[in-house]
Amino acid sequence: MSKRVASGIVPVIRIDRNAAVPLHRQIYDAVRMAISEGRLRPGQHIPSSRLLAKELEVSRLPVLNAYAQLLAEGYLTAQIGSGTAVSGQLPDRFTSTAPVQKNGGASAREGSRKVAQRTATLPSYRMMPWTRNWGAFGVGQVAADSFPLQTWSNIVARRSKNMSVRSFGYGDQMGYLPLRQSIAAYLRTARSVSCDADQILIASGSQQALEISAQVLVDPGDPVWIEEPGYRFSREVFALAGSRLVAVPVDDQGLNVSAGIKMCRRARVAIVTPSHQFPLGVTMSASRRLQLLQWAQQNGSWIIEDDYDSEYRYESSPISSLQGLDNNERVIYIGTFSKVLFPSLRIGYIVVPRDLLGHFVATRRATDLGSPTLTQEVLAEFIGEGHFERHIRRMRLLYKERRSMLVESLRTSLDAACEVIGAEAGLHLTLTLPGLESDYDIALRAASQNLWVWPLSTAYSGGAARNGLILGFGSTQTADIPAAVRKLRGILLNAGSSGA
């Protein structure tokens, strides 16, 4: 197969045919200017002379002349077989990418570049390096090495080759119907969720499902119960929607409903993770579930059930959903394929109470018009052919093994004062570190050594009641776990923690 010569993007070049300056000089100046302003960067390919001539509607000769001069002066380099690119060794003055100061200095900028206060409260990516890297103890990471890639890629290839005309257009805003039917069947059977396909709304992961729910359910200033400690990304979605967050404590039975009622009876929404509380791992007790449902019914409030990883339970059979107990359609159930398949799939779903369907669909439409059809078709086929069920069964065994190794390694390496909690289900557990000054510093140090633990304190919206670390075990191979725990022990020892 012949290698394709890379062809670059055409830069903005304005040609004036009436100008006294010849065409080749105008093209030379424009390309040189694009390089000096950083619009064309070192290493970037430029369009072929034939393509540029066509785009500018000029003959090829002036383009060839301009390119020849830029090559001769070292602005461009030509590699046989791979086209012409901006030189990697430009003088400094040509590689500056500093923003051009327009309309005055910093103070003028501050005044005119105001952003909403709500976004200012969100932490930057740089402050949380552990959320964006793949490796030992990464939270929310799965066993990529055990994913049935061949099966998946066969379906992707088959589906791509046979794309119907309908697949090219905007899809159903609720989501691809066969996928919604498979999800509904799965939820009814495996999670005791009471639903039909016409109530399932596909979203881009639970995160977008939460965002749509926030848009539909709360007005700015409305009080919302969140779990304390809890999942920071759901907290942030509701904060962005302008909610007044009420941090309700979690105890060994899950969200403390009585405490919530005392703090703010009239909350609009309660967001809970009843099957496997994030991050403490508690399963909400039956009496708390009934109390929560009763509160919602009496108060006209909504419950968001974030059922993000309940497929994996290691000590007992899966626990029924809260939604399945609800006779009054007060629960909005949210699920995701991030843990059972992989997070970059970005497919989650909402089981919407029937009377809210119109609001949810209209809001989803206003948000992004729908999820990619091809991905949904592939997923529907993957589930329909039985690969999904098989994968969950295999992964349950694998994750159980990884979890057991992690629990054992932590217990043998660390001080008895450290407690391992929430290891009965899911893909992460929490290690409490009593007496530790800052779990945030430990997590930063760990990240610099390729261990991607999350500090427990960041799961609290107010002052942290406990310091500790959240450790994922989904993507860490069983054999690698003891060494990774020893490394963590070294970090704790260096920090003078009583944990080691």
Ligand X SMILES: Cc1ncc(COP(=O)(O)O)c(C=O)c1O
* Binding footprint of ligand X on the chain (CB under 6 A): 140, 205-207, 231, 273, 278, 306, 308, 336, 338, 343, 348
Verify cis geometry, omega within 30 degrees of 0, for the bond prior to 318: no
CB of 211 to ligand X, least distance (A): 10
CB of 362 to ligand X, least distance (A): 22
- How many H-runs (helices) and E-runs (strands) does the chain carry? 17, 14
Of 171 and 279, nearer to ligand X (C-beta) is 279
CB of 278 to ligand X, least distance (A): 4
Cα angle vertex 156, ends 151, 160, to 5°? 150
Rounded Cα distance between 357 and 368, Å, is: 17
288 to each of 260, 347, 387, how far by Cα in Å? 12, 30, 36
Of 472 and 499, nearer to ligand X (C-beta) is 472
DSSP secondary structure letters along 132-152: S--SBT-TT---GGGS-HHHH
CB of 338 to ligand X, least distance (A): 3
SS3 readout for 280-330: CCCCCCHHHHHHHHHHHHHHCCEEEEECCCCCCECCCCCCCCCHHHCCCCC
Of 140 and 468, nearer to ligand X (C-beta) is 140
Of 199 and 338, nearer to ligand X (C-beta) is 338
CB of 137 to ligand X, least distance (A): 13
Of 26 and 206, nearer to ligand X (C-beta) is 206
Of 26 and 207, nearer to ligand X (C-beta) is 207
Rounded Cα distance between 137 and 362, Å, is: 39
Q: Are 263 and 218 in contact (CB under 8 A)?
A: no
- Give the residue at shortest CB distance from ligand X: 205
Please choose, from the candidates 133, 140, 143, the residue with its C-alpha nearest in 3D space to the C-alpha of residue 477. 143
Q: Whats the size of the chain, residue-wise?
A: 500
CB of 333 to ligand X, least distance (A): 13
Of 84 and 336, nearer to ligand X (C-beta) is 336
CB of 466 to ligand X, least distance (A): 18
Rounded Cα distance between 402 and 412, Å, is: 15
